[in-house]
Amino acid sequence: MELESILKKYWGYDSFRPLQRDIIESVMSGCDTLGLMPTGGGKSLTFQVPGMAFESGLTIIVTPLISLMKDQVDNLKRRGITAVMLNSGMTTRETRIAWERLCNGRARFLYVSPEKLRNTYFLDELRRLPVRLIVVDEAHCISQWGYDFRPSYLKIADLRKLHPSVPVLALTATATPLVAEDIMHNLAFHGNSRKFKMSFSRDNISYLVRLSENKFYDIFHILSRTEGSGIVYVRSRRKTKEISEFLSASGISAEYYHAGLTYESKVERQNAWQHGNIRIMVATNAFGMGIDKPDVRIVVHADFPPSLEEYYQEAGRAGRDGKKSYAVLLVSKNDKSSLRRKLSLSFPERDEIRRIYEMACNFMNLAIGEGYERLIEFDFELFCETFHIQRQQAIAAFHLLSQAGYLDYIEETESNSRVMITVEREELYGIHTSTEADTTLQCVLRQYPGLFADYVKINEGIISRETGLDHETVYNSLLELNRLKILSYVPRRRTPFVFVSTSREESRYVEIRKSIYEDRFKIMSDRIEAMIDYAYCDDGCRVSRMLEYFGEEKACDCGKCDICRSKKKSSSHVSKEEMIRRVWKYMQMYPAGVTQTVLEQNFTPDDHLAGDALRYLVEEGFAVEDHAIYRLSEYSRS
């Protein structure tokens, strides 16, 4: 089947975006390929389309994001494409079913977490599978120069050895030239490898930096002067709630989101924002990955991101539909020193790192010489409370221990409750259960199709509402049906893990090498200074500065960032009075009203003057505003 036919049949698109076809043709010709595509560039199709174009065989996708892994598997299944995943949060039964499908050729895609590649038995099993393509998502994680280096990614090289003739596709949205070269080196790209790079320029986004003395007020001020949905990013869970409550009290529909919320709350809030029932999501960086909402008009950063890579990725969630959007960074006079202070907190003294390693091993009940390649559930909050350790210090120590190859802390992942019927359909008629369990079973059978073939996500709250049983009764009924082996019930749980890479050593022998400590300190320091330079520079285009950081030479001024706009303003030949007259005449042509965005688009490049003119007309009573629609007042018309 032709590539366009596959694209149309499964995804409904008539044509590919820029570079997608080039990357697809490269991997299908057998070339190792690096794809550098900005956020929203359509990376997933570059491996999903060839995965369906191959007549047979399996595409393996290595990704560190279990939540994104689940979403992509579910999306493929909804399109009638067979896909499975293997990660640390799955039950033994789920893992067995996934392997059966892989061995029987009943899956086209396998999503796997990098930690699984550390298991030699797992790698031996992969050797027997008919692999056609290996995909490395978030490929910057394999580079020690990248902003999110993960040592487990280095094990992908072992996967290559199992299938040396299979092409590798590495994908990332953020990579400097040094990181790109390191990716290709660590993945042992062959001589005929190819690299495709889409420009990191997003012409429809205006990047703005605002010096702020009161960020709460400025967030409200910015959001009240723009329209459409948006995201406000902060660096602490507490602030998400404070800012969202402030916005709600000020008349702007807002909700908050962070990693500590329950699964139900996350899904409910994400869906409400996705469908436009909530305008603004105030969130930590836990929100946004894998979310493809095209009409986000504004992204505000109330706190400093630690790197341009992270800022670019988060700000890039604005304007995926190609329409005019804004990315605003609020900075205060103290942010610069605060960011540099965080750098020192990220690198505890070596003796402190060794002490935290010893306490972690004690917490997991590991004796000297025990623990090699074990995956152990780890309650991080309880660990910090038990040993009276500051959370931020413990996180920093675990990160460095991971870099050094001792312990990998796997962030908590929250999985839905899941059910699978384990008896034949005919056997259901002869079972004997309590009345509540029978009521629950009948509701599950009505509500959720596909239960006899695979695990299906369920929601105990919906079952409770449909049956009239309270939540605890539903839970106990499902446990009863599980004990009777009528179904397999996996309750929802939040599970952080620690992967013990090596057997426990005496803490005095724990080595934190120069490349792990001093070299990475320098890398992180350079990254922070680049972020500070971007935010506090007052000469030269901000976008040009950011693109040069990502290796795009001779970047031209964007004409839309705050620095470029101020230059235009100072050099504009149109007087304020003339612009007011032009805006007033333009609004006469549209008595039903216009939005500020549409008006400014019609006065480019003097859109800043047009906005000022519109505000003048409103303040002086010549125009009125109603739900972001502006029209001339009766007084002005007369």
**pLDDT of 233-255, one tens digit each?**
999 999 999 999 999 999 999 99
Q: Is 157 exposed, middle or buried (0-12, 13-18, 19+ CB in 10 A)?
A: middle
Q: State the pLDDT confidence band at 121, using cuts at 50, 70 and 90.
A: confident
Instruction: Say how far apart CA 109 and CA 85 lie, in whole Å.
Output: 8
State pLDDT tens for residues 345-362: 899 999 999 999 999 999
Separation of first and last alpha carbons in the chain:
65
Which is it for the CA torsion 279, 615, 631, 565, positive or negative? negative
Residue 555 binned pLDDT confidence (cut-offs 50, 70, 90) = low
* Mean pLDDT (the chain, rounded): 87
Using DSSP bridges, classify how beta strands 629-632 and 623-626 pair: parallel, antiparallel or unpaired.
antiparallel
Q: What 3-state DSSP class applies to 197?
A: strand
Strand partners for 133: 59
Least confident stretch, 176-180, 500-504, 587-591: 587-591
pLDDT at 51: 94
**Secondary structure letter of residue 374 according to DSSP:** E
Q: What is the pLDDT, as a whole number, of residue 93?
A: 81
pLDDT tens-digit readout, 39-48: 767 889 999 9
Look at 356 and 124; give whichever has higher pLDDT.
356
Compute CA distances 370 → 155, 396, 400, 510, whole Å.
22, 24, 21, 15
Would you say the C-alpha torsion 206, 210, 214, 215 has a positive or negative sign? Answer: positive
pLDDT band at 215 (very low <50, low <70, confident <90, very high): very high
pLDDT at 1: 63
Count of helix runs (H) and strand runs (E) in the chain = 26, 21
Most confident segment among 80-89, 271-280, 407-416: 271-280
For residue 348, whether the previous peptide bond is cis, meaning omega lies within 30 degrees of 0, is no
Q: Which residues pair with 205 in a beta bridge?
A: 325
Collapsing DSSP to helix, strand or coil, 50 comes out as: helix
Query: Quick count: other Cβ atoms within 10 Å of Cβ 271?
Result: 11
Omega of the bond prior to 605 within 30 degrees of 0, cis?
yes
Quick one: pLDDT band at residue 598, thresholds 50, 70, 90?
Answer: confident
Summarised one tens digit per residue, pLDDT across range 443-463 is 999 999 888 888 888 888 889
Predicted local distance difference test score (pLDDT) of residue 115:
80
Neighbours of 277 (CB within 10 A): 11
Cα–Cα dist 407/504, whole Å: 10
Q: Provide the CA 169 distance to its chain's centre, in angstroms.
A: 20
* Cα distance between residue 170 and residue 159, in whole Å: 14
Checking if the pLDDT of 586 tops 90, the result is: no
Segment 51-71 mean pLDDT: 86
Q: Give SS3 for 578.
A: helix
User: Could you tell me if 88 and 414 are in contact, meaning their C-beta atoms sit under 8 angstroms apart?
Assistant: no
Task: Look at 218-227, 382-391, 601-610 and tell me which has the smallest mean pLDDT.
Answer: 601-610
Residue 528: the pLDDT is 93
Q: What is the pLDDT of residue 94?
A: 83
Radius of gyration of the chain (CA): 27
Least confidently predicted of 41-50, 84-93, 199-208, 347-356:
84-93
Q: How far apart are the C-alpha atoms of 354 and 512, rounded to whole Å?
A: 9
Confidence of residue 177 (pLDDT cuts 50, 70, 90): confident
Q: What percentage of the chain exceeds 90 in pLDDT?
A: 42
Q: What is the pLDDT of residue 605?
A: 65
* Residue-level pLDDT at 123: 86
Is 284 within 8 Å of 258 (Cβ atoms)?
yes
419: left (phi over 0), alpha (psi -120 to 50) or beta: beta
Q: In the predicted model, is pLDDT for residue 165 greater than 80?
A: yes
Nearest partner of 86 among 120, 60, 104, judged by Cα: 60
SS (H, E, C) 466-513: HHCCCHHHHHHHHHHHHHCCCEEEECCEEEEEEEECCCCCCHHHCCCC
Confidence (pLDDT) at 401: 93
Predicted confidence band of residue 81 (pLDDT cuts 50, 70, 90): very high
Over residues 596-612, mean pLDDT: 76
The predicted pLDDT at position 638 comes to 57
Cα–Cα nearest to 344, from 404, 393, 273, 311: 393
Q: Give residue 551's Cα distance to chain centre.
A: 23
Residue of 161 and 556 predicted with greater confidence: 161
CA distance 364 to 182: 35
- Whole-angstrom Cα distance, residue 599 to residue 608? 11
Q: What is the DSSP letter of 31?
A: -
| Alpha carbons 51 and 59: distance in angstroms, whole number | 6
Mean pLDDT of 518-538: 91
In the chain, the amino acid numbered 492 is R
pLDDT of residue 156 exceeding 60: yes
Residue whose entry in the numeric block shows the structure tokens 């599970």: 495
Q: pLDDT-derived band of residue 494, with 50, 70 and 90 as boundaries? A: low
- pLDDT of 191: 84
What is the average per-residue pLDDT within 591-603? 79
263 Rama class: left (phi>0) / alpha (psi -120 to 50) / beta: alpha
Which run of H or of E encompasses 395?
helix 391-403
Instruction: Report in angstroms the alpha-carbon separations of 485 from 197, 422, 427, 447, 601.
Output: 53, 7, 11, 20, 64
Q: What percent of the chain has a predicted confidence (pLDDT) above 70? A: 95
Q: Is the pLDDT confidence value at 14 over 60?
A: yes
208 has pLDDT over 70: yes
In the numeric block, which tokens belong to residue 371? 């623990």
Q: Give residue 508's pLDDT band: very low, low, confident or very high (50, 70, 90).
A: very high
